[in-house]
Amino acid sequence: MSVLVEFAIFPTDKGESVSSYVSRIIKVIDESGVEYKLTPMGTVFETETMDKALEVLKKSYEVLEPDCNRIYSTVKFDIRKNRSNRMKQKIASIESKLGKEVKK
Amino acid sequence: MSVLVEFAIFPTDKGESVSSYVSRIIKVIDESGVEYKLTPMGTVFETETMDKALEVLKKSYEVLEPDCNRIYSTVKFDIRKNRSNRMKQKIASIESKLGKEVKK
Amino acid sequence: MSVLVEFAIFPTDKGESVSSYVSRIIKVIDESGVEYKLTPMGTVFETETMDKALEVLKKSYEVLEPDCNRIYSTVKFDIRKNRSNRMKQKIASIESKLGKEVKK
Amino acid sequence: MSVLVEFAIFPTDKGESVSSYVSRIIKVIDESGVEYKLTPMGTVFETETMDKALEVLKKSYEVLEPDCNRIYSTVKFDIRKNRSNRMKQKIASIESKLGKEVKK
């Protein structure tokens, strides 16, 4: 199984710039060992189970919780059986259909 | 603490109509005992901890998993310390600021 | 056609409490004449065309733009041909399948 | 001004595989001339105005509309004044804070 997750989490009580808080999240994800990709709007990662995906969300929340009074988060899941390595395959499939490389 | 969650989950391999699948989710949430509200676009619910919120997501996923090959889900969290009962209070606060009742 | 929209927009440079800003949005939507419902996590509204839906988003943005330096927004669309009045019908369909009323 | 958009749109009445439909969207975005990046969960793009961003959404919808009965879409906006080129700068800011390169 492949669980693809698009994920963003940030405090809303810290003013306009929050990259120091967001850095904590990327550190958690980077150290968790999951396949991931940072985007300008969040992080996309892939796990083999829903449990593992929810664990990454939980740990990400826990590094903000101690010093943030209000936290906002958005998550999207695309879960598909009998698949793996979709971090690369979904984009490759689009490129194959378009017959050209895209920006990624 | 108040964890407000806006949540939708549905199979994408079952054609145009999916209300029988969505019904399973509402049953899970209704029986979980959390405060919730069904909307035309998903369900909003409130828990006192992030753990409880993630548990509801996990259980919702588990009632679709057995017979769905592909599942899509969107989740938003608004987590705030030192608050409770925001299912009602957030709307009341808007109405108070507008000086009138709104549709809800 | 029925365009159902779940929509939230708020400034992230104004600290922890933003209900006075969110009130402006509800005012815009209320005065736009579209069918809507305020939830604790945003607003759900329905239009007959995508153009009308995008116009509501644009107007909502425009009442925050003058005095907000950073604005965050999430939007979900569920667009379906040959349907109307789904604000009520989607929930009624779930209740019919469950054989009971739900919280809404 | 910088309008960053994370965007996904797909039909839900076409079964499990929808990459041929999603390809149409990437073609629209690629040809629109906006700065963009395809991710495994959608597309992130940047425009200088909200009008231009909404125009991209509208055009994307229009290439699915003719032969899709039901379409689902999720959009997130991060709008910030006095900024530009955030497609690169947001990630660079995170890497600078972490003191290391991340996967992107």
Predicted confidence (pLDDT) per residue in D55-65, tens digit = 999 999 999 99
CB contact under 8 A, C74 and A74: yes
Neighbours of chain C (3+ CB pairs under 8 A): A, B, D
CATH code, A2-98 = 3.30.70.930
Mean pLDDT, chain D, as a whole number? 96
Separation between Cα atoms, residue D74 and residue C36, nearest integer Å:
19
Do D81 and C58 count as a contact with CB atoms less than 8 A apart? no
Other C-beta atoms within 10 Å of A58: how many? 14
Global pTM value: 0.98
CB contact under 8 A, C16 and A13: yes
pLDDT tens, residue by residue, C45-95: 999 999 999 999 999 999 999 999 999 999 999 999 999 999 999 999 999
d(CA D38, CA D30): 10
CA atoms within 13 A on the CB side of B85: 4
Residue C36 CA, distance from chain mean position: 7
Give the sign of the dihedral formed by CA A43, CA A49, CA A52, CA A58: positive
User: How far C24 CA sits from the closest chain D CA (Å)?
Assistant: 18
DSSP E strands: which ranges in C12-82? Answer: 35-39, 42-47, 70-80
Chains near B, with 3+ CB pairs < 8 A?
A, C, D
How far does the CA of residue B83 sit from the closest CA of chain A (Å)? 10
- In this prediction, residues D72-96 reach a mean pLDDT of 96
Distance, CA of B9 to CA of B74 (rounded, Å): 7
Residue with tokens 């995508």: C50
CB contact under 8 A, C12 and A13: no
Maximum CA pair distance of chain A?
A: 49
Chain B contact for C74, CB < 8 A?
A: yes
Contact B76, A73 (CB under 8 A): yes
At residue C30, the pLDDT reads: 94
- In the DSSP assignment, the letter for residue A99 is T
Q: How many CB pairs below 8 A link A and B? A: 67
Whole-number Å distance between alpha carbons of B45 and D12: 25
Q: How far apart are CA A11 and CA A68, in angstroms?
A: 6
Q: What is residue D6's predicted lDDT score, i.e. its pLDDT?
A: 98
How confident is the model over A46-73, as pLDDT tens digits? 999 999 999 999 999 999 999 999 999 9
pLDDT in tens, B40-92: 999 999 999 999 999 999 999 999 999 999 999 999 999 999 999 999 999 99
Torsion (CA) A93, D59, C6, C46 in degrees, nearest 10: -130
